[in-house]
Structure 1
């Protein structure tokens, strides 16, 4: 797996690659013949999302390549050795595009026959930038909605091979453009050939509340989809990021319910998905927390197989939770949720507030979000029973998180004040979260200690860890009144 950072250029057939000497040492050009088959659903669901799945022969990287979009000019590439069959996509790769195919079959939709001339800029043994000059013959395979056709063109790609040399990539691009190249609008050769229709998005009045909210919902749907392959590969932080996308979507639907209406069922399904992801995420966080905690304890104070109970055993449970995640992400309920999210972005049910100017309507919604935090706080403080008050403070944390997400969604449109509000809400969320996490950690340690006791193991170290966690929670609890007072004062100046 790797990350591709590249610039693509359209060039005329008579284009000449300019002299690149002086930028770095130059090697080449060397020529290759590349033949690639591209796979997609009959209605091009992968291409529509900027996803490329191909089987390529020729060159130094023959094999299967799956390219997933990350940002403009940046794509994640996952490779698989070349297989004999041209009809069957390796199951490992087919699994990674399920969020896009949603059960539809993959088939060959196009073939690209490319005569490639490669020039490499390098510094000694270190390859820095590769410039590929491609003369392409593209064939669209017949399917229900398309007839066979052939297209020829020429293009140049400059790919960064050393992440530390992005300035060099920019200089190469400048020379290519000066020689007559123009930046390509196509995200890939396949997109140039097939010209897929991008996912539909509702038309809303420019500058309206509806435009801002729908754009934000679309960005979070894309964020959720982009994490799906990473979750299936159990990549670092992927479950967390996918869960955050679920939370941001739910929060936006609640906060902007007068702008985009009738989303209650979608909110429930997003909560279901968040819960599915939550089990593995919570175990992941807990295991990392205890690993860090044990590292602070002197070795002579670690007694018994506590590393196994708080490390290996939790990891086993986490891996079992990942199995359940993958089952959920390959089921009809998940596909139905993704379809519903696509429909939400394409044809949302808009309320009367959607037509109002964004500045007017959305500022009021942000203020209402913060007012919800203060009401939750006042309600909690009015409870005399300390245990019940602590439970109610969890509602303050949730309200702060929602206010933060709302302000973050509006910051690009409404400016710095929303960014400041988001940060202030996050401060409340974090200090309450530190306290809550410490309390939950104590409960987890107590359960693990009881299991150890029943197994005849020494539980001294568990007691030591409980003491550390109690100290963390108590410090956060003691610090909260100061943070709350400072935050309320700062928010008062903003709103």
Structure 2
């Protein structure tokens, strides 16, 4: 698994030395490290897709064990100061397959080539805390930009990299550096500073920065699709690495994209949307095979307290299922079908295939689209009781999710007040979805446990524990049934639907 790099960057003028103020923020000793001369060649596409998405790919020498290929990927949901750092073996004249695999979603069919060469003269200090723990490294970098063996630019920056310290502690040290005169920088990677911030100008499809109710609905469609394509792409690398959160978020992105195409069905071309939705369904399926086992394992382990030893056969089988599903996912993500889908999604994020109705203003065109999804949900849910069949509750859950996604897709384009009402409506639909999600997960878990137990070797202890675990899942399902009615009542209030008209 990759390491998570957490670093703060600063700009300084003139010579730099660690300030005495560090000793007031938990630093007991400041130990100077050997000076290094680092040489790095950075790789990117011709339109700087990696740089524009906070990704660094380089081959570096001069750093001892840290020399070689390095790939730094943003941590989804975090700012640019936190990145996953991968060290990958390979010759310095060719990008390793393992590196390219992790950036497939961005690079797609484009070539990777050198875009910059940097030489860094680095002084460093180890910041040691109590009990001899290394809290962080403080690095003083004087960087030269090299073009054909000639220095064409220079800059100076200081980095503070976490070692055995949390983000809060790192920030305290960072504030001490500020008090000593260091100025927090944008945190941009060195190659971005070397190339100039103009490389960050977007050329791929990106969600518009703002929406207005008077704008054509086409803008809202483009924003929703571009936002979820971006979400899918940024979670592709962690999904390939087997991170549960990455798989989950990538699946959510695929499902939201399908929901967007369904919600905006009057605004997008039917054949175009249907074909794209079919491909997204397959992506969601292979992701779901992994995600479903992730959820099942987590839920059952939380419910199995006191039974863990007896239930080892169950968890062993789930682990085998997870590994099979993971291998199938990796095979799909490395295949041509997914590559073609990525190209289509990128094109859809930039220029979706729209109908003439997409020219109607957002405030008029969008609420009726959500109202249509709401009517389907209301027709199913208003007659539901605590005795409603499991499969019917599952259908209501799916409909609630569609309503939630639809409301979330249009809310940013409806103005402040109406948009807030739509967002609250989506939140309440999400509550219904979550309650029925717990019910569905428990029902599925009971079925899986029973099936695995039936196929397993006879064993009194194991089967008894499986029976008790099924009972616990049944109680969870019954509690969720009871929680459904109050959640539905909150969503089904007339005032919550006022924004739809």
TM-score bracket, normalised by the shorter chain, equals 0.7 to 0.9
The whole-number CA distance in structure 1 between the counterparts of 2:158 and 2:409 is 35
- Alignment match of 1:68 (pick from 66, 69, 73): 73
Q: Distance in 1 between matches of 2:158 and 2:257?
A: 36
Post-superposition shift, 1:202?
Answer: 6.8
- Please give the alpha-carbon distance, in whole angstroms, between the structure 2 residues aligned to 1:55 and 1:288: 39
- Residue in 2 that maps onto 1:144: none
1:145 aligned residue: none
C-alpha separation between the residues in 1 aligned to 2:307 and 2:331? 39
Structure 1 residue corresponding to 2:102, chosen from 93, 96, 103: 96
Cα deviation for residue 153 of structure 1 reads 2.0
Q: Which moved more, 1:363-372 or 1:248-257?
A: 363-372
Q: Deviations over 1:267-289 (max 9, x none)?
A: 21111100011112112222333
Q: Distance in 1 between matches of 2:3 and 2:487?
A: 42
* Alignment match, 1:267: 277
Q: 1:448 aligns with which of 449, 452, 477?
A: 452
Distance 1:324 1:167, change over 3 A: same
C-alpha separation between the residues in 2 aligned to 1:167 and 1:203?
31
1:118 is aligned to 2:119: no
Match of 1:252 among 260, 266, 273: 260
| CA contact 1:260–1:348 (8 Å) conserved in 2 | yes
CA contact 2:207–2:223 (8 Å) conserved in 1: no
Superposition pairs for residues 267-286 of structure 1, below 5 Å? 267-286=277-296
**1:334 to partner: Cα distance:** 0.5
Give the match for residue 393 of structure 1: 393
Question: Are the structure 2 counterparts of residues 89 and 433 from structure 1 closer, same or farther at C-alpha, using a change threshold of 3 Å?
Answer: same
Q: Partners in 2 of 1:445 and 1:251 — Cα distance?
A: 32
Which residue is 1:137 aligned to? Answer: 144
Whether the 8 Å contact between 1:404 and 1:423 is mirrored in structure 2 is yes
Q: Which residue of 1 aligns with 2:86?
A: 79
1:355-386 deviation per Cα after TM superposition (whole angstroms, max 9, x unaligned):
555455444544444333213325x759xxx8
TM-score (norm 1): 0.82
What is the CA-CA distance between 1:249 and the residue it aligns to? Answer: 1.7
2:297 counterpart residue number: 287
- Tell me the number of residue pairs that the alignment of Structure 1 and Structure 2 aligns: 470
CA distance in 2, matches of 1:367, 1:157: 54
- Which ranges of 4 or more aligned residues in structure 1 deviate by more than 6 Å? 202-205
In structure 1, what is the Cα distance between the partners aligned to 2:33 and 2:238?
36
Q: CA deviation at 1:431?
A: 2.0
- Give the whole-Å Cα distance in 2 for the aligned partners of 1:260 and 1:122: 59
Q: State the 1:34 CA deviation.
A: 0.6
Q: Is 1:23–1:168's contact at 8 Å kept on the other side of the alignment?
A: no
1:154-303 alignment, distance < 5 Å: 154-161=155-162, 162=165, 163-168=167-172, 171=175, 174-175=178-179, 183-184=185-186, 187-194=188-195, 196=199, 198-201=202-205, 207=212, 208=215, 209-261=217-269, 262-297=272-307, 302=310
Structure 1 contact 27–122 (Cα < 8 Å) conserved? yes
> How far off its partner does 1:111 sit?
2.0
- Whether 1:425 and 2:429 are equivalent positions in the alignment is yes
Alpha-carbon contact 2:222-2:351 (below 8 Å) kept: no
Partner Cα distance (1:230, 1:416) in 2: 32
Distance 1:341 1:250 in 2: 12
Q: CA deviation at 1:255?
A: 1.8
CA contact (8 A) 1:66 1:79 kept: yes
Structure 2 portions without partners, runs of 5+? none
Give the whole-Å Cα distance in 2 for the aligned partners of 1:430 and 1:30: 54
CA contact (8 A) 1:87 1:108 kept: no
Distance 2:15 2:55 in 1: 30
239-248 or 366-375, which deviates more:
366-375
1:219 CA displacement: 2.6
CA contact (8 A) 1:3 1:74 kept: no
What is the distance in 2 between the residues matched to 1:213 and 1:174?
44
**Aligned-residue CA RMSD (Å):** 3.5
Q: Distance in 2 between matches of 1:27 and 1:409?
A: 53
Alignment counterpart, residue 345 of structure 1, candidates 349, 352, 359: 349
CA–CA distance in structure 2, aligned partners of residues 157 and 354 of structure 1: 50
CA contact (8 A) 1:366 1:407 kept: yes
The structural deviation recorded for 1:55 is: 1.8
CA gap of 1:394–1:79, structure 2 versus 1, over 3 A, is: closer
User: Take 1:357 and 1:364, find their aligned partners in 2: how far apart are those partners?
Assistant: 12
